[in-house]
Amino acid sequence: MVLGGNSTVFDFLAILCALLTKEEERLYAIKWMTADEKHLQKIIYTYRNLLAVILNASVEEYRLDNKSISYLNEELERLQNGKDNNKEHIFRLAVEVEKRLDMYSAGPNRGVIYRLEPLNANVKETQIAIYPRIMPRWNTKKSERNRERRLNANFMNYMMIRMEDAAPFEMIMHYWNDEGILQKTEGGWKLKVGLTPVMDSAKLKSKELDLPSGYAVGVEGIDNEEEVTERVLRVFNQMFSEEYGIIVFPEALGTEEALLKIKRRMRENPEYCTFVAAPTICNDGRNILVVLGPGGIECLRQEKTAPAILTTKEGKVEREDLCYGNQVHLLITKELGLMAFAICAELLDPDYYRLIVNTALADTIICSSFSPGIAAFRDTLLKGAPANLLELYINTCSARFVSRKNEIALPIGFVQIPFSDGEEQPYEVERKCHGQCAQEVCYFDIAIMYQNQKFHVEIVHKRCA
């Protein structure tokens, strides 16, 4: 592999990564674990001219001129055709090159939120994608990710993703070039989150199907659409007025009308730094989550990638019948790191979970749900503890209609913080309504506070009759 015309340092870094198999990456990560200044200075001196080229490219936004490309190609040829210990050098050289790259910053003429393509242009050739890696605003030193035998555990400002690790999904990154979700406090910050189950009487418009491959149920919107839309908007207007950093609705209670009016309301107060995971919309064989940013700007649209499996009151097992996509949209932020937005059963899909947590290195996971049970979600959220993940989960009381017992699964939501002082996790979001659904609004006011490198969570159930 060689660099072509108009190459960048990111293309060079991708080639270095591609020259190592996953087995070799692990082997040499272990070998370099105990290196001290003496060992590092030796390889830095050996490749001083190459590293100087990398540093000099920073003034040109890491674009390489023809002379630099020619020189780096000579070095690549020597590394690929040289002695056995060159693989050992390649690993360390990749780390040293990445160390000399400044943190990613948006270029001119970029929007506040935009789709971010891989920073290297040679993805097809190398099967490697380079993306920014921005750490969240909490201490991650004890994360298990730091113990991984991988290049990413040694990188500082960027990460590399092997396309084989992303399969069968296609990852699509988005970048938020601003901040303000977190409120600064003395010695730390505070995140205000609003979670809402909305109501207990939303009825799905569904149809049972007997397909050649098995039983299925198709969901095509909401039976009592007008009532649900009105309730969604009332709850949203109340929560939005309280300026939460993040507002999360459950799955399947969305309509195009509600989405449009939420956008319009957010445009009236563009100064509010609020992200909204709108209620997902089921229509035309698809289940779509829309995430909105400050000012009502659409950050991303995520189609559900994994089916729910339901058991009817008669004991018949049905799968959710949807046109499942394979695209997974992720949002890079400067405060909460990489954010993933799961739609109910997606979070329980091992392939999806491995993608967002192990491959994409998500730091924050938000899950909207419409589920008759919650035990599996609790167990999955707990898996994020070793990686120091921040996770939010909200169900809807209306899910009682798909429950075999016609009961609401409790608790109605969960909050998992990156680490706690011996407190049991995840925190349960408990209803205080005693089964009497509020006539006007129902939501949970959640304060996640991080002070002096310690987390504290407060949850208040708010409702108005």
Q: 405-459 pLDDT, tens per residue?
A: 889 999 999 999 999 877 889 999 999 988 888 888 999 999 999 999 999 999 9
CB 174: neighbour CB atoms within 10 A? Answer: 18
The answer, yes or no, to whether residue 297 has pLDDT greater than 70, is yes
What's the average model confidence in pLDDT over 342-353? 97
The answer, yes or no, to whether residue 16 has pLDDT greater than 70, is yes
What's the average model confidence in pLDDT over 33-49? 94
Tell me whether strands 214-222 and 317-320 are parallel, antiparallel or unpaired. Answer: parallel
Q: Which two tokens stand for residue 163?
A: 């396309």
Whole-number pLDDT of residue 110: 85
Whole-number pLDDT of residue 436: 86
Phi and psi at residue 193, to the nearest 5°: -125, 135
**The Cα angle at residue 204 between residues 202 and 209, in degrees rounded to 5:** 165
C-alpha distances in Å from residue 182, one per residue of 114, 136, 262, 274, 462: 21, 11, 22, 10, 22
Q: What is the helix (H) or strand (E) element at residue 394, kind and residue range? A: strand 390-394
What's the average model confidence in pLDDT over 37-51? 94
Whole-number pLDDT of residue 43: 93
One-letter identity of residue 123: V
List, in sequence order, the alpha helices (H) in 19-120: 22-31, 37-46, 48-56, 66-81, 86-99
Q: Which two tokens stand for residue 190?
A: 């505070």
Mean pLDDT score across all residues of the chain: 95
One-letter identity of residue 181: I
Whole-number pLDDT of residue 84: 55
Q: Give the lowest-confidence range in 166-175, 321-330, 336-345.
A: 321-330
What's the average model confidence in pLDDT over 13-30? 97
pLDDT digits (tens, 9 = 90+) for 50-84: 999 999 999 999 999 999 999 999 999 999 887 65
DSSP SS3 for 205: strand
Whole-number pLDDT of residue 325: 81
pLDDT digits (tens, 9 = 90+) for 221-262: 999 999 999 999 999 999 999 999 999 999 999 999 999 999
pLDDT band for position 93 (cuts 50, 70, 90): very high
- Of residues 311 and 387, more confidence is placed in 387
Q: Which two tokens stand for residue 373?
A: 């049970």
Report the percent of the chain where pLDDT is more than 70: 99
Q: Which is nearest to 217 in space by CA: 370, 328, 396?
A: 370
CA distance linking residue 259 with residue 278, whole number of Å: 7
CB 146 within 8 A of CB 113: no
What's the average model confidence in pLDDT over 309-338? 93
pLDDT band for position 85 (cuts 50, 70, 90): low
CB 305 within 8 A of CB 341: no
What's the average model confidence in pLDDT over 14-35? 96
CA distance linking residue 372 with residue 407, whole number of Å: 8
DSSP state of 346: G
DSSP SS3 for 110: coil
Q: Which is nearest to 29 in space by CA: 71, 90, 81?
A: 90
CB 181 within 8 A of CB 390: no
CB 369 within 8 A of CB 277: no
Whole-number pLDDT of residue 165: 97
CA distance linking residue 253 with residue 280, whole number of Å: 6
pTM over 0.85? The answer is yes
Tokens 């108009």 belong to which residue?
6
pLDDT digits (tens, 9 = 90+) for 106-164: 877 788 999 999 999 999 999 999 999 999 999 999 999 999 999 999 999 999 999 99
Q: What is the helix (H) or strand (E) element at residue 92, kind and residue range? A: helix 86-99
CB 293 within 8 A of CB 181: no
Q: Where does residue 4 rank: exposed (0-12), middle (13-18), buried (19+ CB within 10 A)? A: exposed
CA distance linking residue 124 with residue 283, whole number of Å: 34
Whole-number pLDDT of residue 18: 97
Whole-number pLDDT of residue 465: 64
